[in-house]
């Protein structure tokens, strides 16, 4: 197996590990179907990497948004409060997620909707990824190989709108428009909770996802600071309580401007993926 294929398989493995958290199978299946469709286009080598990045972003954003993909959001007494949450989030320059994966590795994500930036880091710099749609910057780094692969990124229209659309849909009470399917809200609630002597709003959803006749239930809890109206944490719990994943959410004034801001050495060996594609064609 050549080096290029090894890298592709390794990236698949990293993303697969991240997606092993209790995300409804139907979401992954639908996005995988999109990926298969894109392989029929003229860039079969480039599309799988980009669609896996989108899969990761969509899964993260959907989890942060409650991953509700059908039905109404809240009872008539709650939309106004959630509308405030939606409005405040959309005013933020950056959204930052941080947590620990089931395998024990730290993971972080940065999203800037306005600048079309997505950045991710697993472990220290076990794997790092950076994309910016504004100027086509794209690259990923695998620490085991001490190699930075660079590519030209061409954003798909609406690609960085997942978070924005999810929060907009929450505010209006509409079903999330991008992720349609048989998933449904079994129950939903909003309550006031006390965490470390601090008061928060907690939005909780019981979600049923149906995939090829199989049902999967999970609980999503979304913690909101009532003073700032900003989400500060989301937690996903499998129905049997065997898996629990929480990520803290904060809103920094700035985020990474390049993959080197994620800890990648500036003197690392670089390879241009477009040249690899040309050599393999």
**What is the secondary structure of 172-231 as a DSSP string?**
HTPPPSS--SS-EEEEEEEEEEEETTEEEEEEEEEEEEEETTEEEEEEEEEEEETTTTEE
What pLDDT was estimated at residue 15?
46
Q: Quick: pLDDT tens for 30-67.
A: 444 444 444 333 333 343 444 444 444 444 444 444 33
What pLDDT does residue 184 have? 64
Asked if residue 25 lies in contact with residue 209, where contact means CB atoms within 8 angstroms, the answer is yes
- Residue 21 C-alpha from the chain's centroid: 12
Confidence of residue 75 (pLDDT cuts 50, 70, 90): very low
Give 248's contacts (C-beta < 8 A, 6+ positions apart).
97, 98, 99, 232, 233
- Rounded to 10 degrees, the C-alpha dihedral 231/16/28/86 comes to 10
Query: How would you classify the pairing of strands 269-272 and 147-152?
Result: parallel
- 261 pLDDT band (50/70/90 cuts)? very high
Give percent above pLDDT 70 in the chain: 51
Residue 227, pLDDT > 60, answer: yes
| pLDDT score at 4 | 44
Cβ atoms of residues 246 and 234 within 8 Å: yes
pLDDT digits (tens, 9 = 90+) for 95-147: 898 988 767 778 898 888 777 788 889 888 788 999 888 888 888 898 888 99
> Per-residue confidence at 209, pLDDT binned at 50, 70, 90?
low
Half-sphere exposure of 157 (CA within 13 A, CB side): 0
Query: What pTM did the predictor assign?
Result: 0.63
Question: How does residue 164 score in pLDDT terms, banded at 50, 70 and 90?
Answer: low
Residue ranges per structural domain of the chain: 3-180+256-280
**Structure confidence at residue 276 as a pLDDT band (50, 70, 90):** low
Q: How confident is the model at residue 277 (pLDDT cuts 50, 70, 90)?
A: low
Strand duo 106-112 + 117-122: pairing: antiparallel
The average confidence (pLDDT) of the chain is 67
| pLDDT for 240 | 79
């Amino acid at each position: 197996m050549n080096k290029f294929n090894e890298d592709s398989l390794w990236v698949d493995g990293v993303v697969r590990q991240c997606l092993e958290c209790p995300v409804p199978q139907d979401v992954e299946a639908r996005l995988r179907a999109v990926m298969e469709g894109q392989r029929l286009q003229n860039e079969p080598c480039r599309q799988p990497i980009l669609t896996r990045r989108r899969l990761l972003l969509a899964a993260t954003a959907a989890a942060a948004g409650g991953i509700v993909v059908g039905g109404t959001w809240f009872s008539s007494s709650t939309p106004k409060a959630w509308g405030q949450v939606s409005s405040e989030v959309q005013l933020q320059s950056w959204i930052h997620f941080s947590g620990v994966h089931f395998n024990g590795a730290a993971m972080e994500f940065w999203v800037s909707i306005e600048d079309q930036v997505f950045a991710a880091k697993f472990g220290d710099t076990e794997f790092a990824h950076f994309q910016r749609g504004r100027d086509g910057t794209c690259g990923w780094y695998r620490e085991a190989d001490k190699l930075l692969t660079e590519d030209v990124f061409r954003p798909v229209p609406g690609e960085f709108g997942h978070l924005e659309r999810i929060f907009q849909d929450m505010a209006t009470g509409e079903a999330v428009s991008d992720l349609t399917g048989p998933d449904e809200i079994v129950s939903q609630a909003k309550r006031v909770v006390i965490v470390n002597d601090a008061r928060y709003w907690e939005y909780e959803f019981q979600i049923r996802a149906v995939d090829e006749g199989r049902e999967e239930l999970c609980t999503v809890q979304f913690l909101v600071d009532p003073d700032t109206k900003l989400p500060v944490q989301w937690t996903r719990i499998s129905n049997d309580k065997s898996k629990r994943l929480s990520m803290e959410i904060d809103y920094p004034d700035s985020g990474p401007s390049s993959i080197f801001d994620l800890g990648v050495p500036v003197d690392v060996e670089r390879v241009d993926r477009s040249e690899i594609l040309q050599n393999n064609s």
